[in-house]
Structure 1
Amino acid sequence: MRTDDEAGPPAAVELTLAGPAAGGACVAHRDDATWFVRGGLPGERVMARQTGAKGRGRIRFADVVEVLTPSADRVVPPCPAAGRCGGCDLQHVAYGAQLRWKSQVLADQLQRIGRISTIGSVPVHEAVVVEAVPLPGRPDGLGWRTRLALSTDEAGRPCFHGRHSDELVAVPGCVVTVPELQAGFAGRWAPGRRLAWALGEQGAVVDGEPAGSAAPVAVPGWTVGPTVVRQAAGCSWLGAVGGFWQAHAAAPDVLVDAVRRALAPASGDSVIDLYCGVGLFAGALGAEVGEGGSALAVEGDRRAARLARRNLADLPQARVVQADVQRWVAKGGSRALATADVVVLDPPRAGAGAAVVSAVAAAGRARAVAYVACDGGSLARDAAMLGQHGWELSGLRAFDLFGMSHHVEAVATFRRS
């Protein structure tokens, strides 16, 4: 007699997929349950098999195993590892449809979570348009990634992790990675290591854990070291190879331009940059306000704050504080915010949260806040809190800086209502 532990996978069920949802899935309804189905497109009729992921109540998660009625927007994924590697979840979607998918999801989040019906005077579903960020000579959505985190298997092959698993997926290359880093996939590395690759002014740089274990056997011209120098906003920026930096080759310049336009800093202004990383926005805006102004940058990560001090050393009007932003706000940061003319919020995926948002909202002199968001749900939640404090979402630009995945980057502008 077969036990439950020996039971095979659940039977596939037929579903008709509705619109896209956050996280790269489409929504479907069956048997009084709501299904979140990966690997499909809106309007498709599919066979899908429930996964082991646990949903609350009548929530189910599933993967497409057969497409019965395909969408006109379905394409053959450009990567042979699509569906196994955890990095790209929209490779089966035509690029133009990816942009529409992301626009709809972000607008839905702002409306449903943020209670936002208009941006300025434009209905939210018309105002949110995710913009492509093309790179010369590269197909839409491909060849953009300038930094990678990988692990090596027992044979020393560079691998990505499978979706939500510890499975290592060895790949011969990566279609979303810049050409300059492709040679790394052909190299043999120390087995059982974590690797960080980055492209900088000096070419490809690799770092690894434990220290000194990452040296490639055969990748000519690559440098081994903990730091990388990158160009953005007309300056050079020192960063950690494995530290945070926008992965898309054009992202730093695109986002700096969007933040500048959102805040319109003037000579003599006081700027505060929260979650400043290695100082990109503080440096760009600090140069705009001049020595008669000021730029205060706050960053919780000790290494990033140290690098930010080096990057901003030539700006006497800039100062870096190494502190957890929430603790900084609680321990007197609100007094500094009270003197700010413009504020940049660039929090991690979880968002800024109530304490930080409340402190920013109470900044009595500030005329504008630029919120740089990598998660639409967190942006919507924080936007709702800013709205409760009398701030209005007056503008938003969204960018496709993560082609072939469901992720999107946005710069939201808030002004006092």
Structure 2
Amino acid sequence: MQHETEASLVGHEYEVEVGPVAHGGHCVARTDAGRVLFVRHALPGERVVARVTEGESTSRFLRADAVQVLEASKDRVEAPCPFSGPGKCGGCDWQHAKPGAQRRLKGEVIAEQLMRLAGLTPEEAGWDGTVVPADGDKLPAGEVPAWRTRVQYAVDAEGHAGLRKHRSHEVEVIDRCLIAAPGVSELGIEKREWPQMASVEAIAASGSGDRQVILTPRPGGRLPIVELDKPVSVLRIGEKDKQVHPVHGRAFVRERADGRTYRVGEGGFWQVHPQAADMLVKAVMQGLMPRKGDMALDLYCGVGLFAGALAERIGDKGAVLGIESGKRAVEDARHNLKDLDRVRIEQGKVEQVLPRTRIEEADLIVLDPPRAGAGKQTVRHLASLGARRIAYVACDPAALARDLAYFAEEGYKPVKLRAFDFFPMTHHVECVAILKPVAKEL
């Protein structure tokens, strides 16, 4: 029940000057009365008409869309995708910005989060301020890199596939996703109907040509007969157990990175940009500089990407322990690295398993935590192991900055930070931070 002093401001319009970019794919503006607006589809320095999409008269801030641009930024372009814009698909945040501007905006967000949450300037974090695009994504304005190898389509009540609108369960029906990788687009998910389905996930492995479709029926819904032009494995999400069950073909796809093939089962995690895994391995290994005989940890190890790369470099006298909470991911990691006797994979949450191992020291640590970050307790434990170098792979700059602050309390500082634009047209960015003990100048 709404409080008697509250009134919805949804639909109300303000003419505002757009201020700096903020974390999350929007920019900050203020009304003449000083109310804060988080405005999507705008760029810093523009003057726009912002229409409120969420918020009440008592809200600390309002969310809004720029529905009219009165004074445009030099970085603005017409959105290449017809489904991008106010009230439409929520998948892309920066379709209206030039590619170089998108990377600058992401860099500004990283710098702001580092300073606000970790008290670090870019220089103090070992970062030159640039966000590096993947090779092949360096395209002129107006051209969209087709990079997304995994796309989850929502299905509306009529069985049409589309993508969710921003912060909404509503479906924007589409006929093509411009950022979908060719292997996904070739499946033609948008061109057929999916009756009784809640969602359809399409996967196109970048290294093997494997394709997979994962179907989630609505309650009581029956699976359709799937006939696609390309060879494809079909899986379904069980209505009762919510587990993935093979219907046709393999229950996994094969991905390639760093010269190895990795089995990724049942919709498990793998980087969605086809070049991301190789580029991240390279950045992590260059930062860690593994030596023969090292003892290394790979935390939140997934299907074993970094554990495999470390094991190849530390030799037979070294050892790698990987820890991962997902049962199927652990099975895949053990399969993927079965030829490397020096690798052991344990299942469970890092904060629970790592203390049970009774490991008291490690030479190298790599961690790739979920979006929320590792947290203070885990950081404290890692710092106590005395690793000469730690590689932190982060998909969220705010979580990275918070954990860097915790590491600083424990005597570790970043000496190198790299940022990668593996998610063009969106606000997402990937970072790799290399840390070492303050007392040890290596």
TM-score by length of 2: 0.86
Deviation at residue 190 of structure 1 after TM alignment: 4.4
Q: Which residue of 2 aligns with 1:256?
A: 281
Matches within 5 A, 1:366-385: 366-385=387-406
Partner of 1:133: 134
Q: For residues 389-412 of structure 1, give each alpha carbon's deviation from its aligned partner in whole angstroms, at most 9, with x where no partner exists.
A: 111111100000010000000000
What is the number of equivalent residue pairs in this alignment?
408
Distance 1:80 1:215 in 2: 30
List gaps (5 residues or longer) in structure 2.
235-249
Q: Give the secondary structure class of the aligned counterpart of 2:21.
A: coil
Percent identical residues: 38
Query: Match for 1:97: what amino acid?
Result: A
Where do 1:130-279 residues align within 5 Å? 130-135=131-136, 142-183=145-186, 184=188, 185-200=190-205, 201-209=208-216, 213=223, 216-224=226-234, 225-279=250-304
Render the CA deviation track for 1:288-333: whole Å, top value 9, x for unaligned: 112110111000111111111111111100010001112223x424
Identify if the C-alpha distance between structure 1 residues 56 and 341 changes in structure 2 by more than 3 Å, giving closer, same or farther: farther
Alignment of 1:47-58 (within 5 A): 47-53=49-55, 58=60
Could you tell me whether the CA contact under 8 Å between 1:187 and 1:217 is conserved in 2?
A: no
Query: 2:25 matched to 1:15?
Result: no
Deviates more, 1:223-232 or 1:242-251: 223-232
Q: How far, CA to CA, are the matches of 2:136 and 2:58 in structure 1?
A: 42
Is the contact made by 2:125 and 2:417 (CA closer than 8 Å) also made in structure 1? Answer: no
1:355-370 aligned within 5 A:
355-364=377-386, 366-370=387-391
TM normalised by structure 1 equals 0.91
Q: What's the CA shift string for 1:89-144, capped at 9, x where partnerless?
A: 1101111100100001101100111111254586x6xx221101132797665201
1:269: Cα distance to partner?
A: 0.6
Q: Which amino acid in the other structure matches residue 199 of structure 1?
A: A
Q: Quick one: distance in 1 between partners of 2:119 and 2:137? A: 38
Partner of 1:94: 98
Change (3 A) 1:26 1:341: same
Q: CA RMSD in A?
A: 2.5
Specify the code of the residue in structure 1 equivalent to 2:115: Q
Aligned amino acid, residue 43 of structure 1: G
**1:54/1:61 contact within 8 Å kept:** no
Q: Choose the corresponding residue for 1:111, options 106, 115, 118.
A: 115
Greater alpha carbon shift after TM alignment, 78-87 vs 178-187: 178-187
**Aligned mates of 2:29, 2:78 — CA distance in 1:** 23
State yes or no: 1:404 paired with 2:425. Answer: yes
State the Cα distance separating 1:204 from its structure 2 match. Answer: 2.0
Distance change >3 Å, CA 121–CA 11, structure 1 → 2: closer
Compared with structure 1, are the counterparts of its residues 289 and 318 closer, same or farther at alpha carbon in structure 2 (3 Å cutoff)?
A: same
**1:13, distance to aligned residue in structure 2 (A):** 0.6
Q: Deviations over 1:360-413 (max 9, x none)?
A: 11112x101100000000000000000111111111000000100000000001
CA shift digits 1:179-215 (9 cap, x unpaired)? 1211323233343232221112143221223599365
Check the 8 A contact 1:193/1:213 in 2, yes or no: no
Q: Which moved more, 1:239-248 or 1:138-147?
A: 138-147
Partner SS state of residue 100, structure 2: helix
Letter paired with 1:315: L
The C-alpha deviation readout for 1:236-282, integer Å capped at 9, x for no partner, is 11002422110001000000000001101111111100000111000
1:327 and 2:331 matched: no
1:70 aligns with 2:72: yes
Report matched runs for 1:308-327 at 5 Å.
308-327=333-352
Q: Any conservation in 2 of the 1:238–1:278 contact (CA below 8 Å)?
A: yes
Which residue does 1:26 correspond to in 2?
27
State the AA in 1 paired with 2:233. T
Show the counterpart of 1:352.
374
User: How far apart are 1:164 and its partner, in Å?
Assistant: 1.3
CA distance in 2, matches of 1:57, 1:128: 34
CA spacing shift, 1:241–1:135, aligned 2, 3 Å = farther
Q: What residue in structure 1 maps to residue 243 of structure 2?
A: none
**C-alpha contact (below 8 Å) 1:198/1:241 kept by paired residues:** no
Separation in structure 2 between the aligned mates of residue 187 and residue 297 of structure 1, nearest angstrom: 42
Distance in structure 1 (CA, Å) of the matches to 2:92 and 2:8: 30
Q: 1:29 to 1:221 in 2, by over 3 A?
A: same
